[in-house]
A and B are shown apart, each in its own frame.
Chain A
Amino acid sequence: GESVGLHLPTLSVQEGDNSIINCAYSNSASDYFIWYKQESGKGPQFIIDIRSNMDKRQGQRVTVLLNKTVKHLSLQIAATQPGDSAVYFCAENIGGNKLVFGAGTILRVKS
């Protein structure tokens, strides 16, 4: 369940298109999941979270989907903008206040 890596997958999308970033998590007992965005030279920035009693949560231009059956999390970004270019991390809270981060996905937005 630890982040291993680190050849990060890259998703390239055209400005205005929708983006879908996927993440597989490791611990079936995890009950809280978060998506973070990290821009170059900055710390991870909270985007959206979801608890395990939900399968979908929407924010402003972002939607998180949780499939506990296959331990899969996805982040959908609507109308992707150049400012969305960053590395996106999913994180699961495995209990005991410990967050385990995925390796990350690079999102590149083409203008």
Chain B
Amino acid sequence: DSGVTQTPKHLITATGQRVTLRCSPRSGDLSVYWYQQSLDQGLQFLIQYYNGEERAKGNILERFSAQQFPDLHSELNLSSLELGDSALYFCASNLAGGDTDTQYFGPGTRLTVL
């Protein structure tokens, strides 16, 4: 158990809908990362937050957004969902968000878009 928690574990929704995925980092960690893992693209970095502020952006679609709250939990919002958004979404955290800080991953949320 990494100490990173994610809810929900599974989510099934329809195309065009909007969902919110939640992540609580390890106790004391200030930085949160979001990743998407799909069958055809592998594990892809989406976005990073550090202490409430966006720090780095990867392959995140404009339909997706995220935020980190004062209590350091983070939410990933996915809107106008398409079939291709079906994937595992992982959150990771580390203390300071530095390049050589190990990222610890949560158990993931499996999103199925029908």
Q: How far is the CA of A102 from the CA of B2 in the complex (A)?
A: 21
Inter-chain contacts of B99 with A (CB < 8 A):
31-32, 93, 95-97
Nearest opposing residue in chain A for B40, CB measure: A6
Do the beta carbons of B45 and A100 come within 8 Å of each other?
yes
Q: How far is the CA of A87 from the CA of B5 in the complex (A)?
A: 21
B84 at interface by CB-CB < 8 Å: no
> In chain B between 13 and 46, which residues have their CB closer than 8 angstroms to a CB of chain A?
31, 33, 39-45
Inter-chain contacts of A2 with B (CB < 8 A):
41-42, 44, 59
Do the beta carbons of B42 and A32 come within 8 Å of each other?
no
Q: How far is the CA of A2 from the CA of B55 in the complex (A)?
A: 20
Inter-chain contacts of A100 with B (CB < 8 A):
45
Q: Contacts A97-B48, A99-B45 known; A43 to B39 CB distance under 8 Å?
A: no
Say what secondary structure dominates the interface of chain A.
loop
Do the beta carbons of B42 and A6 come within 8 Å of each other?
yes
Pick from B4, B42, B98: contact of A3, CB under 8 Å: B42
B33 to chain A, nearest CB (A): 8
Inter-chain contacts of B33 with A (CB < 8 A):
97, 99
Q: Contacting chain B: which of A17-25, A44-52, A67-75?
A: A44-52
B52 at interface by CB-CB < 8 Å: no
- Which residues of A are interface residues toward B (Cβ below 8 A)? 2-6, 31-32, 34, 36, 41-46, 49, 51, 89, 93, 95-104
Q: A6-B40, A46-B2, A101-B42 are in contact. List 19 more A-B contacts (CB 8 A).
A: A3-B42, A5-B40, A6-B39, A41-B107, A43-B90, A43-B92, A43-B106, A44-B105, A46-B105, A93-B99, A93-B100, A95-B99, A97-B31, A97-B99, A98-B45, A98-B48, A99-B33, A99-B45, A103-B42
